[in-house]
């Protein structure tokens, strides 16, 4: 069709104009070879995506979760309280809701406490080596021979105190009532003790009852106020003092040490 139109191009007639128009319309076909009749193809629709509105994103900071304070942030007393609270909770859980998990937790804390105990004992031994003045055994030995020597020295100090009291004219009051248990045996021991230490002895009866084991007994007549009997009272006319050294039934050695303790200003007790 295009060749025919070109052959009639020199004839200014209507057919020439028609051929020119057809030639012009056919140019896109030459440009798109292999596609066939382009004017029969359905045009590919152009898809226009709608504008997406912009959303302004506001970045809100995420609050940090509070973490429990580490051991380094707590004082030692606070750490101890926290551990005690944890142990009590573990013990309560093991008792109220026994289970392998709860028992494991409790036993783990017990083992941890034993570890701390061993660490404390080791540190204490180290401390005693560095500071021997803190070692009780250094001044109060525990070996049999050492203890014997220690108490022999203390006994000498006690006897020195008793001898001093005898020189000052001190004596003892044995305050009693007739219903006191083991009164007669105890009175005999007190009499022997007073005679051996050269201390005067006077029995004082709160209820007016006699006491054959003592050579001299007087009724109290409200002068002494003693709540527990029998009682042994040390009387020292040199210092004008009266002080109880024994209530109830005590050994003579205990009474001696009490006297020594009191006479030395309530210290240096053997």
Residue 243 belongs to a domain: yes
Closest C-alpha among 47, 10, 40, 4 to residue 22: 4
Q: Are residues 160 and 236 part of one domain? A: yes
Q: Are residues 171 and 110 part of one domain? A: no
- Residue 30's pLDDT band, with cuts at 50, 70 and 90, is very low
Look over the chain and give the mean of its residue pLDDT values, rounded to a whole number: 82
- Which of 119-123, 142-146, 166-170 has the least mean pLDDT? 142-146
Measured between alpha carbons, how far is 6 from 83 in angstroms, rounded to an integer? 109
Residue 45 belongs to a domain: no
Query: What pLDDT is recorded for position 184?
Result: 96
Measured between alpha carbons, how far is 176 from 51 in angstroms, rounded to an integer? 114
pLDDT tens readout for residues 57-106: 544 444 444 454 565 689 999 999 999 999 999 999 999 999 999 999 99
Q: Are residues 186 and 104 part of one domain? A: no
Residue 209 belongs to a domain: yes
Q: Kind and range of the H or E element at 195?
A: helix 183-196
Domain count, the chain: 3
- Which of 37-41, 151-155, 227-231, 266-270 has the least mean pLDDT? 37-41
Q: Are residues 178 and 259 part of one domain? A: yes
Instruction: Evaluate if pTM is beyond 0.85.
Output: no
Q: Are residues 254 and 180 part of one domain? A: yes
CATH of the domain at 220: 3.40.30.10
Mean pLDDT for the stretch of residues 149-170: 94
Mean pLDDT for the stretch of residues 45-53: 54
Expressed as residue numbers, the domain containing 231 is 145-263
Residues sharing a CB contact under 8 Å with residue 227, sequence separation 6 or more, in sequence order: none
Residues sharing a CB contact under 8 Å with residue 191, sequence separation 6 or more, in sequence order: 201, 213, 214
Whether 164 has a pLDDT exceeding 80, the answer reads yes
Query: What pLDDT is recorded for position 16?
Result: 46
- Residue 246's pLDDT band, with cuts at 50, 70 and 90, is very high
Q: Specify whether the CB–CB gap between 206 and 229 falls below 8 A.
A: yes
Q: Specify whether the CB–CB gap between 236 and 229 falls below 8 A.
A: no
Residue 199 belongs to a domain: yes
Enumerate long-range contacts of 179-184, CB under 8 Å, 24 or more apart.
180/229, 180/230, 181/249, 182/249, 183/211, 183/230, 184/211, 184/212, 184/213
Whether 182 has a pLDDT exceeding 50, the answer reads yes
Q: Specify whether the CB–CB gap between 147 and 154 falls below 8 A.
A: no
From the number of C-beta atoms within 10 Å of its C-beta (0-12, 13-18, 19+), residue 234 rates as buried
Q: Are residues 176 and 102 part of one domain? A: no
Q: Are residues 171 and 109 part of one domain? A: no
Query: What pLDDT is recorded for position 72?
Result: 67
Residue 69 belongs to a domain: no
Residue 47 belongs to a domain: no
Q: Of the ranges 27-36, 131-140, 149-158, 208-217, which is most confident?
A: 208-217
Q: Are residues 245 and 173 part of one domain? A: yes
Q: Are residues 106 and 155 part of one domain? A: no
Q: Specify whether the CB–CB gap between 216 and 186 falls below 8 A.
A: no
- Residue 56: count other Cβ atoms within 10 Å of its Cβ: 4
């Amino acid at each position: 069709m295009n060749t025919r139109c070109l052959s009639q191009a020199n004839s200014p007639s209507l057919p020439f104009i028609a051929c020119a128009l057809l030639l012009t319309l056919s140019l896109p076909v030459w440009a798109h070879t292999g596609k066939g009749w382009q004017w029969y193809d359905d045009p590919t629709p152009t898809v226009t995506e709608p504008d997406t509105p912009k959303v302004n994103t506001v970045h809100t900071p995420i609050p940090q979760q509070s973490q429990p304070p580490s051991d380094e942030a707590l004082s030692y007393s606070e750490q101890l309280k926290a551990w005690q609270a944890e142990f009590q909770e573990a013990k309560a859980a093991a008792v109220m809701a026994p289970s392998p998990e709860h028992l494991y937790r409790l036993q783990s804390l017990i083992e941890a406490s034993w570890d701390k105990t061993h660490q404390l004992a080791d540190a204490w031994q180290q401390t005693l080596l560095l500071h021997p003045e803190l070692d009780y055994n250094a001044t109060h030995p525990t070996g049999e021979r050492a203890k014997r020597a220690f108490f022999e020295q203390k006994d000498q100090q006690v006897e020195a105190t008793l001898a001093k009291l005898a020189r000052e004219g001190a004596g003892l009051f044995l305050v009693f009532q007739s219903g006191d248990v083991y009164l007669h045996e105890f009175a005999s021991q007190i009499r022997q003790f007073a005679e051996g230490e050269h201390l005067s002895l006077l029995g004082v009866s709160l209820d007016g009852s006699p006491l054959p084991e003592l050579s001299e007994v007087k009724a109290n007549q409200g002068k002494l106020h003693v709540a527990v009997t029998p009682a042994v009272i040390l009387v020292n006319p040199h210092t004008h003092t009266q002080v109880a050294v024994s209530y109830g039934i005590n050994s003579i050695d205990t009474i001696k040490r009490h006297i020594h303790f009191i006479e030395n200003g309530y210290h240096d007790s053997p």
